[in-house]
């Protein structure tokens, strides 16, 4: 970089964001390697990218953004919500499988047995070619977390008669 360091005048090697990009910052100042490290709380040198990435992702997650892929039964649409995040839309086939997995689990079937039933029926998994008990466990766990979140939905909706109807109420609330 051709500009001198904003702090010490040495040749700059970094464009430091005055306000972190993860917080919406866009303005930068030129800094040398040592001053850039000091700006990030290090005695000398620049923080590594993985450390900054972890911190930025933690900030984003704390703001309520779900990181990673869409949960089973959902996909990201091109629609944007009021804060600029892509909205989730239901995938009907996977929503039906979610309901079926929940019903089988509620009937006392093990995750291994549920995976075998889905494979025998030719149900298509999200990835791969066959269902595995670990995949079923993850979906059941996610559905259990959904049920916890539904406590909030029940306060404003009439009581549902089955767990599947309760999940549908939650799913409807999420897509609104």
Backbone torsion region of residue 173, taken as left when φ is above 0, otherwise alpha when ψ lies between -120 and 50, otherwise beta = alpha
Give the residue, 127 or 146, on which the prediction is more confident. 127
Give the residue, 15 or 22, on which the prediction is more confident. 15
* Range scoring the smallest mean pLDDT among 29-43, 138-152, 154-168: 154-168
Query: Quick one: tokens of 1?
Result: 């970089």
**Which pLDDT tens digit goes with each residue over 62-120?**
877 777 888 888 888 888 877 777 888 889 999 999 989 989 999 999 999 999 999 99
**Which pLDDT tens digit goes with each residue over 49-64?**
677 788 888 887 887 7
113-139: average pLDDT: 92
Backbone torsion region of residue 128, taken as left when φ is above 0, otherwise alpha when ψ lies between -120 and 50, otherwise beta = left
Strand, helix or coil at 103? helix
Residue 154 has pLDDT above 90, yes or no: no
* Whole-number CA gyration radius for the chain: 24
pTM of the full predicted structure?
A: 0.52
Report the candidate in 176, 170, 155 with the shortest Cα–Cα distance to residue 95: 170
Query: Quick one: tokens of 117?
Result: 């039933």
Residue-range domain boundaries for the chain? 14-62, 74-175
Residue 45 has pLDDT above 70, yes or no: no
pLDDT averaged over every residue in the chain: 79
């Amino acid at each position: 970089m051709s500009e001198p360091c904003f702090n010490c005048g040495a040749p700059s090697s970094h464009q430091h964001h005055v306000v972190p990009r993860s917080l919406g910052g866009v303005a930068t100042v030129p800094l040398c390697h040592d001053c850039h490290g000091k700006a990030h709380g290090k005695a000398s040198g620049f923080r590594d990218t993985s450390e900054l990435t972890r911190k930025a992702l933690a900030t984003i997650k704390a703001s309520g953004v779900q990181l990673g892929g869409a949960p089973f039964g959902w996909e990201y649409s091109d629609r944007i919500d009021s804060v600029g995040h892509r909205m989730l839309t239901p995938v009907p086939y996977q929503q039906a499988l979610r309901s079926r997995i929940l019903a089988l689990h509620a009937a006392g079937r093990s995750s291994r047995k549920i995976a075998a039933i889905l494979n025998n029926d030719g149900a298509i998994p999200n990835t791969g070619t066959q269902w595995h008990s670990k995949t079923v466990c993850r979906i059941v766990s996610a559905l259990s977390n959904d049920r916890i979140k539904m406590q909030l939905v029940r306060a404003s909706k009439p009581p549902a008669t089955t767990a599947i109807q309760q999940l549908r109420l939650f799913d409807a609330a999420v897509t609104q």
